[in-house]
Structure 1
Amino acid sequence: MAAFTGSMIPKYSQAQILPYRNPELTPHERAVDLCSRLTLEEKASLMLDDSPAIPRLGIKRWQWWSEALHGVANMGNVTNFPEPIGMAASWNDALVFKVFDAVSTEARAKWNELTAKGGDVTRFHALSVWTPNVNIFRDPRWGRGQETYGEDPYLTGVMGSAVVRGLQGPEDTRYRKLWACAKHYAVHSGPEWSRHTADIENISARDLWETYLPAFKTVVEDAKVREVMCAYQRYDNEPCCSNTRLLQDILRNEWGFKYLVVSDCGAVTDIHANHKVASDAVHSSARATLAGTDVECGFDYAYKSIPEAVHRDLIKESEVDKHVIRLLEGRFDLGEMDDPSLVSWSNIPSSVLESQEHRRLALDMARQTMTLLQNRNAILPLKQGERIAVIGPNADNKPMMWGNYNGTPTTTVTILDGIRRVNRKTVYMQGCDLTDSRIVTPLFSECSFEGRKGFKGTFWNNARRAGKPVTTEYYTQPFSKTTAGNYQFAPGVNLTDFSAQYETVFRPAKSGEVVINVESVSRFDVVVNGEVKVRHATWRTTPTRTPIQVEAGKEYKIEIHFAHMPTYGASIKVNIGTESEIDYADVIRQLKGIDKVVFVGGIAPSLEGEEMPVEIDGFKGGDRTHIELPAVQRNFLKALREAGKRVVFVCCSGSAIAMQPESENCEAILQAWYPGMEGGTAVADVLYGKVCPSGKLPVTFYSSSEQLGDFEDYRMEGRTYRYIRDFKPLFPFGHGLSYTTFDIGEARLSSTVMGKNNVTMEIPVTNTGKRDGAEVVQVYVRNPQDPEGPVMQLRGYSRIDVKAGKTATATIVLTPKSFEWFDIQTNTIRTKAGTYDVLYGNSSRQEALKKVTVTIN
């Protein structure tokens, strides 16, 4: 039976149709009716993130799992925006809203393409997107911190709300544009390697209410987010996805959340398999359902056993109905079961994908993420005509630009591309690897297959390379693929149970030794001219070197056979070329006559991210074991300085890097994050002064790893600007320089007493330099009566443009919520009476902040 087509039913006859097919009824009314027509087994099947069709009721296959962290993920021909941690550095929530309005437009366009062709809904191709990540980035070692909006609960809540509103569309429309999801609830920020077994039990009620919950509360109450994802770990010895206190008492009862709770992927199975607080899948499904988890994301679904849990009287079918009604409401709210003619979003065309408008938006956002940390001797901006050198492993690194949880754009402007467009006198050499003291000079230009340059990749949705391939791809440069972060190796390829064959014919221009480097955590073989050179049956996290002696002019057929192993995730990294140890002196000799060097380094999403198979110095399982710059880069920068070069360090990363030596060895440091498809233009625009930098740090940059506490300790004392008391970081939260100067004047307050009305602050900002620029005025609140509480907390900000020589006014409104503080008597957070210090300036550096007081009666 086909789903109801509203345009086919005259209005007068709608009373005669089944209620769930009537678009004039509310989503809740329709969901209640449809739920009543389902069998118990059908209800359980709809509680899976990949739920099957139920043809007898016109219910189509449905997916809850799709990603849109900073653009539509796991798809091509989409706009790739900067990583969220970079967007947070813009301190521009209005622009963040525009970005995610564009992202949701592209997601709908992809959906419209699929449904117009009558295609089956597959994972990552849904109207439910699992973003934003509003966890607090409490420790820079966490590999997924790049997905967040920083270390501050207020900034994270504001940015997260902008994301949700951009994705979901206006509340007054008939249908939601998408459903957004706030994750990972709650108290989660690494380590990645222990998340399936960890118990967060040592944090105080103060840390819970002042640090870990506020951003979730904001996106639930203010932005009306439609989904919340429960996290993997335990909180107070109860897994988050079966935690009644988190999911019922706080989320639903206190905050009034009435929409969907979805589990992180495999988290319900973790209840018995890893946390071992339930005996089996049946009991895990009962615990999670009773606590309030509506939909399970999984692989070996525990929720398939819900009918058995009902039959064994562990839960009632009426309890199952509550969850099914909620998820069906969501599907009706998105218009998925109605005729497309009723859904305005169905008119979005494919032409919006990577449109000029969206690319300009990506560039605008990338420019505003650029955070100038240091500019000694005013080395920046560079002069357009001067000869410079660009060196470093991230200068021409496209995948680094894209970040993680990303889609793939058709074109990307690398940092080298951007600089060369401005300065044709640029000399380039890679110089070094991100972490390895050896350097491989790729020879992909000497590889081809079937008339095309590079390697050909062929993929099968089985582990045997059997039957008809799913798809093929070609690679013209060194490539890496991973399923970490739930990426597909190629469109249409499974995350598990798949295989690949990479092949090329290598025709060397010179005789000598060439090395085939393959790094993988799955089974692979390396075959050269039919001879198996390497055969692996177990995983490896270090590169496998296959040296071969080659003769110029001869052909060498190279094959890499790859198969996913069920025990592990899947990843592969392939390079072929000549290998040598870095000779700093030789590089410096090649820089004769060049005074200024732009070194583009840092780290990359291939090193930090979700539960990754990386085990090298400084990195473990997606996290970092220390936050210093990799030694090979640190030594390179030192050598450049000792040679008398003036160095501009462009640092790309999704987390803070301890750069104390680099601050001495480099004259300028520009934090570029993972800046997206237009990031190279944005970097060049700042380096050459076309754009005045305006980014501000959303995280603290520590001087060294010694300033960090135990990574697994979730207590906030000593962490982030809010609780740092005994040391000074290298660059404080909120810090960021400009090419002009600003004077922040004396604040005018509408009142110094908070009564029934809000307090409005008007702060004059004068541009005392010679260039137009933007400044971010930051307002912090401190409670002198509570010395054990936060040093101060961000409670407002205003990003304003000020022309050279002019004065503009930053207006910031303080509400009673601005003075919420932990109350030890009620064990919760509330607005407390007292006199508070209100501090304001352009960073969290206390000695530079000005102060007024406000009294709460």
Structure 2
Amino acid sequence: MTAQTLPTPPFRDPQLPPAKRIDDLLQRLTLDEKVALLHQFAPAVDRLRIAAFRTGQEALHGVAWMGPATVFPQAVGLGATWNEDLVRRVGEAVSTEVRAMRALDDRVGLNVWAPTVNLLRHPLWGRNEEGYSEDPKLTSAIATAYTRGLRGDHPTYWRTAPVLKHWLAHNNETGRDVTSSSVRPRVLHEYDLRAFRETVEAGAVAGVMPAYNLVNGRPNHVSPYLSEHLRTWTDEHLMVCSDASAPSNLVDSEHYFDTHEEATAAAIRAGVDSFTDHGTDGTKIVERIQGALVQGLLSADDIDEAVRRQLSVRFRLAEFDPEQDPYADAKDFDTPAHRDLAQEAAEQAVVLLKNEGGLLPLSGDTRIAVVGLLADECKLDWYSGALIHRSTPLEGVNDRFGAERVTFAEGVDRVRLKALSTGAYLSVPEAADATDEVRGAEGALDPALLAGRTDLPPLTTDPAGTDLALIDWGEGALTFRAPDGRYLSVAEDGYIRAAADQPGGWVVQEIFRLEPSESHENGHLLKHPGTGRYVTVAADGVKVADENDANPEVFELIVTEPGEEAVTRAAAAADVVVVVAGNDPHINGRETEDRPGLALPAHQERLLRAARAANPNTALVLVSAYPYALDHADLPAVLWTAHGGQAAGTALARVLAGDVSPAGRLPQTWYASDADLPDLLDYDVIGARQTYLYFEGTPLFPFGHGLSYADFAYENLNVLAGGGPDEGELTVSFTVTNTSGVSADEVAQLYVRAVAPSVPRPRRELLGHRRVTLAPGASTELTFRLPLSALEFWDVAHGRWHLEPGAYELLIGASSEDIRLRTTVDVEGDPIAPRPVLERGLDAADFDEQRGTEIVDRAKESGDAVTPTGGASGGTGELVFRNCDFGPAATELTVEVAGEGSVEFSLIGGPVLATLTLDQPTGDPDDPYTYTALRAGIEAAGVHDVHLKLRGPLRLARVGFSG
């Protein structure tokens, strides 16, 4: 029999069930071949005609890192649309471009790492731009829409395979690979798991990516929650892809395991199926897995399970059925439809925060001054593709209102830098323009091809020097721009050149900082944070100093024109001023860097005040990846939009002109000051009263807020209690009417509040929303069908969801604070039973209240314990457990503890009944998991609140009682 007549193996038969096909392929692969598949860059298996496969293609708001592509608004901007249909269509367009680009470049992967569903709990998180909302319901709705678009609508084959990021409770970049998020069970179930769960249950998710951080003392890459929760939510195989270098972090930075073999084995047993580590080189991971197999830390069955989940995704992508692939001929790329969609998304993402005195919309004959650092910028972020088209606010306003009616002032300071060692000034030498050499498809500019160039001449010094634009981004971060528009940048050879189209890259080589000189009163050292070195002037050009250079150059900064002067001139000559402020997504708040505070950078604040002083008709447009705190009392109009991609400027201009009535809504609370914020590492949204769900202060702008050029009336609220699969459902309906003469969108929002809960519940909680378009005078009836399970909370006393009986207030309106209709319904449920402590005891992490404690890992594999904050030195912490039923009598107390210290037991309102002390550590300092049981006699009967005081570096796992 010749090779041409060999029968088709079962794994290539599309008529067979996927499980049988995977079984067949698994038994054909050798163990070595299976092991090799577990690296991100899985090699080909030539003997079976199986191609190489790569997990991971960034596609957060467009195809990223693969060159020109359609760039949609940042994820937080898509969240601000509150529009699932729109976001689904964006997902479709992105995945279609993935397919089209893959047809030309096989480096483009079909396993896309998007969306990010981390909740925007804390606005200082550096990656705020990547999430959708602080609310789990809204986040899951938007994420589900995006994954459905990415997946496609074919019943068998997927256009792309989405992976959700980043599992779990991940909202800090500061120490992100070593910090632990203390997440108690109620927060875990009601908040952090919820966004993931509802999106996975919707059926368009191929997998998840664990986050860098630890949760309750245990790295996410060995989290038991992957099996205990994630994989119970769907019958589909879910592939878990590690984050980059995170497997090595288990040993190298976290020191959670002693050897990489042990760490890799633990990750695979926990459920990690693809290892993103050491770039394209899979040999290290293969060696570690093989070593774990030899040491008996892994079995062949463990490898099979991981490979099975990977293969399931590859089969869904039609890799083994190319003739059946419905997306094989996808060619749509940068189409007119995609361009229109990018503009529609940018328009819908604009949020009108304030509009007093009718300043907006602007009339067509208005003379407009467009000013500010973002006025003529179209900024990209780390997960953007390269722009094919772009529109800045200035360009958009020019196009819409006519350039002859528009004046512009960027507001940057014009400066010269004088080298005090010679008296000469920094000078940018003339160079042949290199921009055209690095333009790709349709003239798209790839900044990465400019930054880092070494073929351009470096800066020099001369008596005249060059006026540079100094852009002050706040927190000491400065960028300098040459007259030809290029930014000063440090290349690998250390020389400084005007070589970057924009600041960018993993390490931003365009940022500099001025530090006062101790030797010269008006002198400054110029430091380059990317290299950690100071700038010096050498005979062959200006560069960063060598490591052993102890004499960096001292510069005098001479301001030749303050930016405020240009802004004042432009503002004074205009009818209306539009100040465009905000951030550069690569500076002061980005991946690896959290923000220090909410304030608008001082230089931009000065520009805003200069414009307002010169012209009271000033509108502030914030273009940013995150919220700000600002004093807007004397500003008649304020708008916010995330960085809106390629059509940002056109979209903004259409909103300013009234061509589009703004209808974006804030996806997170805007706080009035830093004092309103909890610590960045405090993940207890309930105890710390975080997000709109629990925040008791007055926000600058509330969750769900957004104004319109139209007016809407809410009427005819009707609530029916009815059936459903479980005979437990509420049907809520009401009418929304556009009472104005302007066609516009409205975002109706439905919230709930438990009137008299027995445990802390949200002040109000989003249950549903709908974005609708209404012509002048038009009405629509909106109906929401709500399962009563939506009113449940996680009952820590019994470890289950619980529907508490009583009154629930339904709140309908235009934001979480702008409530137009309300009614109260009485819901039947089960009364909260006391904790049956004689039967169940108390798991330490199931507290109702705490002070000065954190949750840590009870053991490396699973389980939680509680310890006082303070690390190895220990401290004092307190736990409260409400409504503990001791029955007729409890006479003995048992605590399971490790380490050393004491546990003090009392009933609230009564004396200390027992103090149990560990005089000697239960294990050595490197083994905190050796537990022992301590016992003491007590007398307790009936129902009481329990108070425990923990002292010292101990771990409390459990408290038991007997009669």
TM-score with structure 2 setting the length: 0.73
Letter in 2 for 1:277: Y
The offset of 1:414, in angstroms, is 1.2
SS in 2 for 1:413: coil
| 2:454 aligned residue (482, 501, 504) | 501
**Cα–Cα, structure 1 residues 326 and 167, in superposed 2: closer, same or farther, change >3 Å?**
same
Structure number with greater Rg is: 2
2:335 maps to 1:355:
yes
Provide, for residues 786-841 of structure 1, a one-character-per-residue CA deviation record: whole Å limited to 9, x for no partner.
25121121011111222222322222221233223222333344544443211111
State the partner residue of 2:150: 167
Equivalent residue for 2:673, pick from 679, 701, 704: 704
Mapping for residues 227-238 of structure 1, pairs under 5 Å: 227-238=207-218
Tell me the distance in 2 between the aligned counterparts of 1:476 and 1:181.
32
Structure 1 pair 581–285 and aligned structure 2 pair: CA distance change class (3 A): farther
Instruction: After TM superposition, list the pairs within 5 Å mapping 1:123-202 onto structure 2.
Output: 125-170=108-153, 172=155, 174-190=156-172, 192-201=173-182
Matching residue of 1:408: 386
Hey, what does 2:45 align to over in structure 1?
54
SS at match of 2:164: strand
Q: Structure 1 counterpart of 2:707, which letter?
A: L
CA drift of 1:540 comes to 3.4
C-alpha separation in 1, matches of 2:584 and 2:655: 21
In the alignment, residue 370 of structure 2 is paired with which amino acid? V
Aligned counterpart, 1:570: none
Instruction: Give the match for residue 266 of structure 2.
Output: 287
Residues 170 and 527 of structure 1: CA distance in aligned 2, closer, same or farther (over 3 Å):
closer
1:748 equivalenced with 2:712 (yes/no): no
Instruction: Name the CA distance, whole Å, in 2 between partners of 1:144 and 1:49.
Output: 24
Number of residue pairs matched by the alignment? 760
Whether 1:262 aligns to 2:241 is: yes
Q: Structure 1's 311 and 541: CA in aligned 2 closer, same or farther, altered over 3 A?
A: closer
Give 1:511-550 correspondences, 5 Å limit: 512-515=465-468, 518-519=488-489, 524-526=494-496, 540=530
* Contact 1:78/1:354 (8 A) holds in 2: yes
1:502 to 1:370, Cα distance in 2 relative to 1, 3 A: farther
Distance 1:840 1:388 in 2: 38
After TM superposition, give the deviation of residue 254 of structure 1 in Å: 5.7
* Cα 1:595/1:678, change in 2 over 3 Å: same
CA distance in 1 between partners of 2:793 and 2:50 (Å): 48
Q: Is the 8 A contact 2:746 2:772 kept in 1?
A: yes
Residue 777 of structure 2 is matched in structure 1 by 805
Paired position in structure 1 for 2:353: 373
1:776 to 744, 747, 755: 747
Cα distance, 1:644 vs structure 2: 3.5
CA contact (8 A) 2:671 2:701 kept: yes
Task: Give the superposition deviation at 1:761.
Answer: 1.6
Q: Give the CA deviation at 1:61.
A: 1.7
Going from structure 1 to structure 2, the CA distance change for 1:806 and 1:825 (only over 3 Å counts) comes to: same
Match of 1:600 in 2: 580
Alpha-carbon separation, structure 1, partners of 2:647 and 2:389: 9
Q: How far apart, in 2, do the equivalents of 1:445 and 1:390 lie?
A: 28
CA apart distance, 1:740: 1.2
**Equivalent of residue 285 in structure 2, options 287, 293, 303:** 303
Distance in 1, matches of 2:785 and 2:318, equals 38
Q: CA RMSD in A?
A: 3.7
Q: Does 1:80 align with 2:71?
A: yes
Instruction: Kindly indicate whether the alpha-carbon contact (under 8 Å) linking 2:536 and 2:545 is maintained by their aligned counterparts in 1.
Output: no
Residue 559 (structure 1) shift: 9.8
| Aligned residue number for residue 17 of structure 2 | 26
Q: Is the 8 A contact 1:521 1:541 kept in 2?
A: no
Opposite residue 354 of structure 1, the aligned amino acid is D
* CA distance in 2: counterparts of 1:767 and 1:604, whole angstroms: 38
Indicate conservation of the 8 Å contact 1:445/1:454, yes or no: no
- State the distance in 1 between where 2:344 and 2:235 align: 37
C-alpha displacement of 1:512: 4.2
Which structure features the higher share of helix residues?
1
1:738 aligned residue: 708
CA distance 1:364–1:743, shift in 2 (3 Å): same
In 2, the alpha carbon distance for the partners of 1:757 and 1:778 equals 22
The answer to whether the Cα contact below 8 Å between 1:272 and 1:279 also exists between their aligned partners in 2 is: yes
- Secondary structure at 1:745's aligned position in 2? strand
1:215, 1:34 → 2: CA distance? 34
Structure holding more strand per residue: 2
Please, which of 669, 672, 684 is the counterpart of residue 638 of structure 2? 669
Q: Is the 8 A contact 2:394 2:408 kept in 1?
A: no
CA distance in 2, matches of 1:169, 1:561: 50
- Contact 1:271 1:277 (8 Å CA) reproduced: yes
Give the corresponding residue for 1:469. Answer: none
* Cα shift at 1:668: 0.6
Structure 1 residues 412 and 546 mapped into 2: Cα distance closer, same or farther (>3 Å)? farther
Counterpart CA distance in 2 for 1:722 and 1:437 is 46
Shift of 1:90: 1.0
Q: Is the contact between residue 521 and residue 539 of structure 1 (CA under 8 Å) also seen in structure 2?
A: no
Query: What is aligned with 1:843?
Result: 815
Q: Decide which of 767, 792, 795 is 2:764's aligned counterpart.
A: 792
SS of 1:180's partner is strand
Aligned to 2:315: 332
1:216-227 superposed matches below 5 A: 216-227=196-207
Cα distance, 1:579 vs. partner?
6.5
Cα gap change, 1:32 to 1:543, in 2 (>3 Å):
same
Q: Report the CA distance shift for 1:783/1:447 in structure 2 as closer, same or farther (over 3 A).
A: farther
Question: Which stretch has the larger CA shift, 692-701 or 837-846?
Answer: 837-846
Whichever residue aligns with residue 692 of structure 1, its letter is S
Instruction: Please give the residue correspondences for 1:233-632 in structure 2 after superposition, counting only pairs within 5 Å.
Output: 233-244=213-224, 246-253=225-232, 258-299=237-278, 303-304=285-286, 305-339=288-322, 341-349=323-331, 352-398=332-378, 400=379, 402-424=380-402, 425-433=404-412, 448-449=431-432, 452=433, 454=435, 489=448, 500-501=453-454, 503=456, 512-515=465-468, 518-519=488-489, 524-526=494-496, 540=530, 580=560, 582-607=562-587, 610-612=590-592, 621=593, 623-632=594-603
Name the TM-score, length of structure 1 as normaliser: 0.82
Contact 2:163 2:208 (C-alpha < 8 Å) held by counterparts: yes
The 8 Å contact of residues 73 and 407 in structure 1, kept in 2 or not, is answered as yes
Q: Find the residue that maps to 1:432 and give its secondary structure.
A: coil
Aligned-partner Cα distance in 1 for 2:544–2:763: 56
| Kept after mapping to 1: 8 A contact 2:416/2:465 | no
**Which residue type is aligned with residue 352 of structure 2?**
L
Q: Contact 2:114–2:164 (CA<8 Å) still a contact in 1?
A: yes
Q: State the one-letter code of the partner of 1:819.
A: L
Instruction: Give me the whole-angstrom Cα distance separating, in 1, the residues matched to 2:598 and 2:532.
Output: 21
CA 633–366 in structure 1, closer or farther in 2 if over 3 Å, else same: same
SS at match of 1:207: helix
Counterparts in 2 of 1:33 and 1:586: CA distance versus 1, 3 Å: closer
What's the offset of the Cα at 1:427? Answer: 3.6
Moved more, 72-81 or 692-701: 72-81
Contact 2:581-2:620 within 8 A present in 1 as well = yes
Decide whether aligned partners of structure 1 residues 671 and 721 sit closer, same or farther in structure 2, where only a CA change above 3 A counts.
Answer: same
> Are the aligned partners of 1:823 and 1:832 in contact in 2 as well (CA < 8 Å)?
no
SS of residue in 1 equivalent to 2:189: helix
Please give the alpha-carbon distance, in whole angstroms, between the structure 2 residues aligned to 1:544 and 1:580.
Answer: 24
- Does the C-alpha gap of structure 1 residues 505 and 254 become closer, same or farther in structure 2, counting only changes over 3 Å? closer
